[in-house]
A and B are shown apart, each in its own frame.
Chain A
Amino acid sequence: MLLIAGGIGVLAVVVSLLLGPKKPSASKLMPYESGNDPEGTGRERFPVHFYLVAMLFIVFDIETAFFYPLAVAYQNVGAFAFWEMVTFVVLVLVGYFYILKKGVLEWN
Chain B
Amino acid sequence: MVFPDVSLAPLLPILITLLGAIAATLLGFYLPRRAVTLVSMVALVLSGISMASLWNRGLSAFSGSLQADNVALSLGLIILIGSLMTLLVSFDSAVRAHLSFPEFDALLLYAVTGTLIIAFSGDLVTMLIGLEVMSLSGYVIATLQGSRRSEEAGMKYFLLGAVGSAILIYGIALVYGATGTLSYVGIRDATSGLQVQNVGLLVVGALMLLCGFGFKVALAPFHQWTPDLYGGAPTTVGLFLSTVVKVAAFAGMLRVFGGAMQNVPAWASVLQVLIAATLVIGNLAALFQTNFKRLMAYSAVAHTGFLALALLGNPATGGPALTYYLLVYTLMTAAAFAVLGALQRSEEGFSIDDMRGLFYRHPAYAVALAVCLGSLAGLPPFAGFMGKYLAFQAAFQAGYVGLTVIAAMGSVAALIYYLRPAMLMFMPDRTPAREFPGERTPTTAAIALGVVGVTVLGVLPNVAYGLVANPAIWTILAGR
Direct contact of A and B (CB under 8 A): yes
Whether B1 is near chain A, meaning CB under 8 Å from some CB there, is yes
In the docked arrangement, what's the CA distance between A98 and B27, Å? 10
Give residues 79-124 of B contacting A (CB, 8 Å).
none
Contact B2–A98 (Cβ < 8 Å): no
Contact B26–A77 (Cβ < 8 Å): no
Contact B3–A101 (Cβ < 8 Å): no
Q: Is the interface of B mostly helix, strand, loop or mixed?
A: loop
Contact A78–B29 (Cβ < 8 Å): no
In the complex, which residues of chain A have a beta carbon less than 8 angstroms from the beta carbon of B1? 77-78, 80
Contact A97–B26 (Cβ < 8 Å): yes
Contact A98–B26 (Cβ < 8 Å): yes
Q: Is the interface of A mostly helix, strand, loop or mixed?
A: helix
In the docked arrangement, what's the CA distance between A15 and B29, Å? 60
Contact B26–A94 (Cβ < 8 Å): yes
The chain B residue sitting closest to A102, CB to CB, is B29
Whether B39 is near chain A, meaning CB under 8 Å from some CB there, is no
Question: Pick the contact of B3 from A80, A91, A94, A98 — CB < 8 Å?
Answer: A80
In the complex, which residues of chain A have a beta carbon less than 8 angstroms from the beta carbon of B22? 91, 94
Question: Pick the contact of A94 from B2, B4, B25, B29 — CB < 8 Å?
Answer: B25
In the docked arrangement, what's the CA distance between A98 and B467, Å? 42
In the docked arrangement, what's the CA distance between A97 and B3, Å? 31
Give residues 16-62 of B contacting A (CB, 8 Å).
22, 25-26, 29
The chain B residue sitting closest to A98, CB to CB, is B25
In the complex, which residues of chain A have a beta carbon less than 8 angstroms from the beta carbon of B29? 101
Q: Mark A93-108, 1 if CB is under 8 A from B, else 0.
A: 0100110010000000
In the complex, which residues of chain B have a beta carbon less than 8 angstroms from the beta carbon of A77? 1-2
In the docked arrangement, what's the CA distance between A59 and B1, Å? 31
In the docked arrangement, what's the CA distance between A94 and B322, Å? 37
In the complex, which residues of chain B have a beta carbon less than 8 angstroms from the beta carbon of A80? 1-4
In the docked arrangement, what's the CA distance between A90 and B26, Å? 13
Q: Mark A54-95, 1 if CB is under 8 A from B, else 0.
A: 000000000000000000000011101000000000010010
The chain B residue sitting closest to A73, CB to CB, is B2
The smallest C-beta distance from A72 to any residue of chain B, in angstroms, reads 15
The smallest C-beta distance from A3 to any residue of chain B, in angstroms, reads 30
The smallest C-beta distance from B460 to any residue of chain A, in angstroms, reads 43
The smallest C-beta distance from B117 to any residue of chain A, in angstroms, reads 14
The smallest C-beta distance from B251 to any residue of chain A, in angstroms, reads 24
The smallest C-beta distance from A39 to any residue of chain B, in angstroms, reads 31
The smallest C-beta distance from A15 to any residue of chain B, in angstroms, reads 44
The chain A residue sitting closest to B3, CB to CB, is A80
In the complex, which residues of chain B have a beta carbon less than 8 angstroms from the beta carbon of A94? 22, 25-26
The chain B residue sitting closest to A95, CB to CB, is B25
The chain A residue sitting closest to B1, CB to CB, is A78
Q: Mark B318-330, 1 if CB is under 8 A from A, else 0.
A: 0000000000000
In the docked arrangement, what's the CA distance between A75 and B4, Å? 15
In the docked arrangement, what's the CA distance between A97 and B25, Å? 10
The smallest C-beta distance from B133 to any residue of chain A, in angstroms, reads 12
The chain A residue sitting closest to B29, CB to CB, is A101
The smallest C-beta distance from B43 to any residue of chain A, in angstroms, reads 15
In the docked arrangement, what's the CA distance between A101 and B29, Å? 8
In the complex, which residues of chain A have a beta carbon less than 8 angstroms from the beta carbon of B26? 94, 97-98
In the complex, which residues of chain B have a beta carbon less than 8 angstroms from the beta carbon of A97? 26
The chain B residue sitting closest to A80, CB to CB, is B3
In the complex, which residues of chain A have a beta carbon less than 8 angstroms from the beta carbon of B2? 76-77, 80
In the docked arrangement, what's the CA distance between A94 and B1, Å? 30
The chain A residue sitting closest to B21, CB to CB, is A94
In the docked arrangement, what's the CA distance between A78 and B25, Å? 32
In the docked arrangement, what's the CA distance between A93 and B26, Å? 11
In the docked arrangement, what's the CA distance between A77 and B3, Å? 8
In the docked arrangement, what's the CA distance between A101 and B25, Å? 11
In the docked arrangement, what's the CA distance between A98 and B25, Å? 7
The smallest C-beta distance from A104 to any residue of chain B, in angstroms, reads 13
In the complex, which residues of chain A have a beta carbon less than 8 angstroms from the beta carbon of B25? 94, 98
The smallest C-beta distance from B310 to any residue of chain A, in angstroms, reads 37
In the docked arrangement, what's the CA distance between A91 and B22, Å? 9
In the docked arrangement, what's the CA distance between A98 and B3, Å? 33
The smallest C-beta distance from B39 to any residue of chain A, in angstroms, reads 15
In the docked arrangement, what's the CA distance between A60 and B324, Å? 42
In the docked arrangement, what's the CA distance between A80 and B1, Å? 9
In the docked arrangement, what's the CA distance between A78 and B29, Å? 37
In the complex, which residues of chain A have a beta carbon less than 8 angstroms from the beta carbon of B4? 80
In the docked arrangement, what's the CA distance between A91 and B21, Å? 11
In the docked arrangement, what's the CA distance between A94 and B22, Å? 7
Could you write out 12 A-B pairs with CB less than 8 Å apart? A76-B2, A77-B2, A78-B1, A80-B2, A80-B3, A80-B4, A91-B22, A94-B22, A94-B25, A94-B26, A98-B26, A101-B29
CB within 8 Å of A: which residues of B?
Answer: 1-4, 22, 25-26, 29
